[in-house]
Amino acid sequence: MSKRISKIWKIITVFLIVLCCFPSSALAFCGFYVAKADSNLYNQASQVIIARKGDRTVLTMANDYQGEAKDFALVVPVPVPVTEDQVNVGNPNIIQRLDAFSAPRLVEYFDNDPCQPVMMMEQMVPSATSADRANQGSARQRKSFGVTVESRFTKGEYDIVILKAKESDGLERWLISNGYNIPRGAKELLQPYIRQQMRFFVAKVNLQELNKSQYQSLRPLMIAYESPKFMLPIRLGMINSKKEQDLIVYLISPEGQVELTNYRTVKVPSNVDVPEHVKGEFADFYKSMFRRSYEREGKKVAFVEYAWNMANCDPCSAQPLNPQELKDAGVFWSNSPSNNMIRPRNNLFITRLHVRYDRRNFPEDLKFQNTSNQQLFQGRYVIRHPFREKVTRDFTRLPLLF
């Protein structure tokens, strides 16, 4: 009997040593944030914010235009007529804030002495952060070409017209004859929108207003409208280029993740352990990883890089947006107090989609749907630093089972 007891205690001792020398894995993301893969990794990546609740959409378009302001022209199909009070010029910093908050991130962990007593970790809940802190004077009457000007106004540094057209050839000729610098041959891509009886939001720069402003670059344009169509037109952006283009869309919803209905939506590879040297070359690592994933998926998918409740983050590469910043991002339904030190409530979910597209693989505009999926996800890459000091084995401190 005594031999059996002795044998049992030997087994228990071995079990405790093994338990001690192999710490349990963390139960939450945590870790130390060290780098992010933001939109600066890509040359002239287009960025758009879409805040939507019900049938109401607020679309914010960042301008990455690099050229003479007088040559700038923006043509955006919209599903319904748009009036002057539905258009605004946005805060130029809001895109950068959302980009920093949602960018894929590199984190690192440092292993403890593997033979120190294991402290059982309570499951960690993502901690709340301390955040929350065109020209009427110069326009001449020209041929209509079957185009109706439904409204014309100036917002900030932009002259804007809302157009309705009967045919794409007429719309193309109207734009060119009225001084809009658009590439010839656009009629092929304009025709599907005319067939759907969509309107065209057209903007060019008012040089006098731009010179009077304090801004060195063009600010984003914001359009609010109500329509059951939840979509983003991308085909007109392919006119000037036959190469692949990168588009990052920040979708803000009161419900949950936003997905595409006409293309597959997949998550970027995540929670991947990477070598220590990646810390100094994370940008190159992420671009290479994204390229391989894009090719492996047949170049016909949108990648989720981030999906999270905006009240918190874990780990934080930037603080969550405060109420004023949420307003700047087009969020119109938040019931948070106006005090910037108050954390927004949990009715805001952000989905970051990264689309790399060309005319061959993305023949249709992006069509979205809201979902109730509140599952948290982030593109997250982990460096685990092993314990490199002298290992201690103090078995007198082993926890007792009985």
Domain boundaries in the chain?
29-66+85-112+125-133+220-387
Kindly tell me if the per-residue pLDDT of 100 is higher than 50.
yes
C-alpha 90/C-alpha 330 separation (Å) is: 9
Q: What is the pLDDT of residue 168?
A: 87
Per-residue pLDDT band at 388 (split at 50, 70, 90): confident
C-alpha 205/C-alpha 332 separation (Å) is: 27
Mean pLDDT of 115-131: 43
Mean pLDDT of 323-331: 94
C-alpha 100/C-alpha 93 separation (Å) is: 11
User: What does the block give as tokens for 125?
Assistant: 């809940």
Q: What is the pLDDT of residue 195?
A: 92
Nearest to 201 by CA among 157, 234, 164, 248: 164
3-state secondary structure of 261: coil
Q: What is the pLDDT of residue 240?
A: 62
Rg (CA), the chain: 27
Report which DSSP code applies to 148.
Answer: E
The alpha carbon of residue 227 and the mean position of all alpha carbons in its chain are separated, in whole angstroms, by 22
Q: What is the pLDDT of residue 392?
A: 63
Per-residue pLDDT band at 10 (split at 50, 70, 90): very low
| Burial of 143 (C-beta count, 10 Å sphere; 0-12/13-18/19+) | exposed
Do residues 279 and 383 touch, judged by C-beta distance below 8 A?
yes
C-alpha 14/C-alpha 277 separation (Å) is: 36
Do residues 320 and 312 touch, judged by C-beta distance below 8 A?
yes
Kindly tell me if the per-residue pLDDT of 263 is higher than 70.
yes
Per-residue pLDDT band at 328 (split at 50, 70, 90): very high
Which residue has 């910093």 as its token pair?
Answer: 93
Mean pLDDT of 244-259: 94
For 111, how many CA atoms within 13 A lie in the half-sphere containing its CB?
18
C-alpha 247/C-alpha 16 separation (Å) is: 52
C-alpha 43/C-alpha 27 separation (Å) is: 37
Higher pLDDT, 335 or 137: 335
Higher pLDDT, 1 or 161: 161
Mean pLDDT of all residues in the chain? Answer: 80
Q: What is the pLDDT of residue 242?
A: 66
Mean pLDDT of 90-100: 92
pTM of the complete model: 0.80
Kindly tell me if the per-residue pLDDT of 17 is higher than 70.
no
Kindly tell me if the per-residue pLDDT of 7 is higher than 60.
no
C-alpha 239/C-alpha 184 separation (Å) is: 9
Per-residue pLDDT band at 340 (split at 50, 70, 90): very low
Kindly tell me if the per-residue pLDDT of 178 is higher than 50.
yes
C-alpha 274/C-alpha 182 separation (Å) is: 45
